């Protein structure tokens, strides 16, 4: 195990003596978990506890317009919620126990869409997306609730490339490890959206793709909920716990 030396002065009456703290480098990887539109952090708390048990600092949040700020549901914009995520990321990265070079962002649906954009604005080492939504770049500042649902549905059934979409452009530049989870019976985020995301991840260190059989978008079945939890925690163990072993002999740089 590597260690860090910190020289200090210790006051003794009117004098000072010199000392050196020798401590293990125990900063931990971290994960920011974000719910989808209409959800709350409650949907991720149990999963966060399982990931935390692996030796990871986890943070769950309620995006504005949800939870105790539900009163903003009709007026909150994508810009507002992206700023929520950036503020949460910065708070997590500044935690004294966190290694700021080893942060995962986990998101479902709308939260997954925003998570990809965060990866273009902050150092993200791992990105986990379940049924990530997709929206046109236009009307970014319009309240999310007022976006045309029929137009969104039609857009999600087309081929979209990174040069035409901010979220996909972020995926195209992502060089960490990514997980994409599709729900087999999803009518909100249909298969073409997942195809667009998978195609955009062309610079990643690794890409893991899984389908939850029989699952709808909201994971309304308990078996689907458990299947997703198992997928996410297993992937997190492989990526996050595995990285701690690898980093001990070959630290990752450039994040």
- Is the residue at 8 inside a domain? no
Terminal-residue alpha carbon distance, the chain:
22
- Is the residue at 239 inside a domain? yes
- Is the residue at 13 inside a domain? no
The alpha carbon of residue 203 and the mean position of all alpha carbons in its chain are separated, in whole angstroms, by 18
Which two three-digit tokens encode residue 136? 């046109």
> At 195, phi and psi to the nearest 5?
-60, -40
- Is the residue at 2 inside a domain? no
Domain span at residue 77 reads 27-248
Render pLDDT for 220-252 as a digit per residue (tens, 0 to 9). Answer: 999 999 999 999 999 999 997 777 666 554 433
- Is the residue at 6 inside a domain? no
Instruction: Please tell me the predicted confidence (pLDDT) of residue 141.
Output: 97
Which residues are CB-contacts of 53 (< 8 A; sequence separation ≥ 6)?
none
CATH number of the domain bearing residue 180 = 3.40.50.1820
| Domain tally, the chain | 1
Using 50, 70 and 90 to split pLDDT, how confident is the model at 202?
Answer: very high
- Is the residue at 9 inside a domain? no
Instruction: Please tell me the predicted confidence (pLDDT) of residue 10.
Output: 75
Instruction: Please tell me the predicted confidence (pLDDT) of residue 23.
Output: 57
Which two three-digit tokens encode residue 184? 């087999």
The pLDDT of 63-84, averaged and rounded, is 93
- Is the residue at 203 inside a domain? yes
- Is the residue at 216 inside a domain? yes
DSSP per residue over 13-59, as a string?
TTEEEEEEEEEE---EEEEEEE--TT--THHHHHHHHHHHTTT-EEE
């Amino acid at each position: 195990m590597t260690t860090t030396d910190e020289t200090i002065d210790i006051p003794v009456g009117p004098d000072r003596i010199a000392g050196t703290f020798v401590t293990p480098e125990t900063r931990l990887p971290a994960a920011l978990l974000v719910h989808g539109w209409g959800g709350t952090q409650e949907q991720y708390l149990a999963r966060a506890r399982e990931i935390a048990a692996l030796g990871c600092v986890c943070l769950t949040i309620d995006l504005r317009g949800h939870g105790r700020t539900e009163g903003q549901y009709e007026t909150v914009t994508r810009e507002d919620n992206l700023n929520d995520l950036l503020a949460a990321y910065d708070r997590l990265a500044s935690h004294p126990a966190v290694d700021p070079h080893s942060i995962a962002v986990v998101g479902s649906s709308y939260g997954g869409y925003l998570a990809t954009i965060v990866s273009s604005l902050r150092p993200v080492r791992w990105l986990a997306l379940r049924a990530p939504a997709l929206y046109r770049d236009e009307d970014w500042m319009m309240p999310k609730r007022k976006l045309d649902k029929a137009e969104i549905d039609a857009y999600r059934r087309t081929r979209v490339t990174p040069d035409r979409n901010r979220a996909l452009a972020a995926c195209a530049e992502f060089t960490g490890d990514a997980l994409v989870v599709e729900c087999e019976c999803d009518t909100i985020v249909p298969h073409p959206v997942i195809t667009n995301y998978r195609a955009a991840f062309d610079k990643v260190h690794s890409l893991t793709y899984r389908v939850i059989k029989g699952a709808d978008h909201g994971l309304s079945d308990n078996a689907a909920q458990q299947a997703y939890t198992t997928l996410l925690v297993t992937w997190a163990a492989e990526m996050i716990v595995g990285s701690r072993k690898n980093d001990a002999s070959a630290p990752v740089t450039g994040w």
